Chains A and B, each alone.
Chain A
Amino acid sequence: MLEELSLNVLDIAMNSLSAGARRVEVSVVESHRHDFLILRVRDNGRGMDAATLTRVLNQRTTGKQSRKKNIGLGLAMLRQTCEMCDGHFHVRSAPEQGTSVTASMRLSHIDRPPLGDLNSTILSLCAANDDVDVRLKYRTDQETFNFSSQEGKPHEPRRTQETERKSSTTSRAA
Chain B
Amino acid sequence: MKFETNAKLTAVLLAIQATPLTSTSETNVQGCYISDLLSDVLAHAQPGMLWATVQIHRNVVSVAATKDIPAVLFTCGRKPDANVIAEAEEEGITLLVTPLTTYEAAGKLWQAGLHE
Contact = CB atoms under 8 A, between A and B. Distances in A.
Interface of A: 1-3, 7, 59-63, 67, 73, 76-77, 80, 84
A3 B39 contact: yes
Given A60-B61, A60-B87, A80-B59, A3 B40 contact: yes
Nearest to A1: B38
Interface in B27-62: 37-40, 42, 55, 57-59, 61-62
A1 B30 CA distance: 25
A1 B54 CA distance: 13
A53 to B, nearest CB: 18
Contact of B65 (A3, A67, A76, A84): A67
A3 B90 contact: no
B62 A76 contact: yes
B15 interface: no
B39 A67 contact: no
Q: Which A-B residue pairs are the 4 nearest by beta carbons? A: A2-B39, A60-B62, A1-B38, A61-B65
Given A3-B39, A62-B90, A73 B66 contact: yes
A73 B91 contact: no
A108 B28 CA distance: 42
A2 B59 CA distance: 12
Contacts of B63: 73
Contacts of A73: 38, 42, 59, 62-63, 66
Query: Chain B at the A interface: mostly helix, strand, loop or mixed?
Result: helix
Nearest to B90: A62
Contacts of A76: 59, 62
Contacts of B65: 60-63, 67
12 contacts: A1-B37, A1-B59, A2-B39, A3-B40, A7-B39, A60-B58, A60-B61, A62-B91, A63-B65, A73-B42, A77-B59, A80-B38
A77 to B, nearest CB: 6
Contacts of B40: 3
Contacts of B38: 1-2, 73, 77, 80
Given A1-B39, A60-B87, A61-B66, 19 more contacts: A1-B38, A1-B55, A1-B59, A3-B37, A3-B39, A3-B40, A59-B62, A60-B58, A60-B59, A60-B61, A62-B65, A62-B90, A63-B65, A63-B91, A67-B66, A73-B63, A77-B39, A80-B57, A84-B57
Contacts of A77: 38-39, 59
Interface string B5-21: 00000000000000000
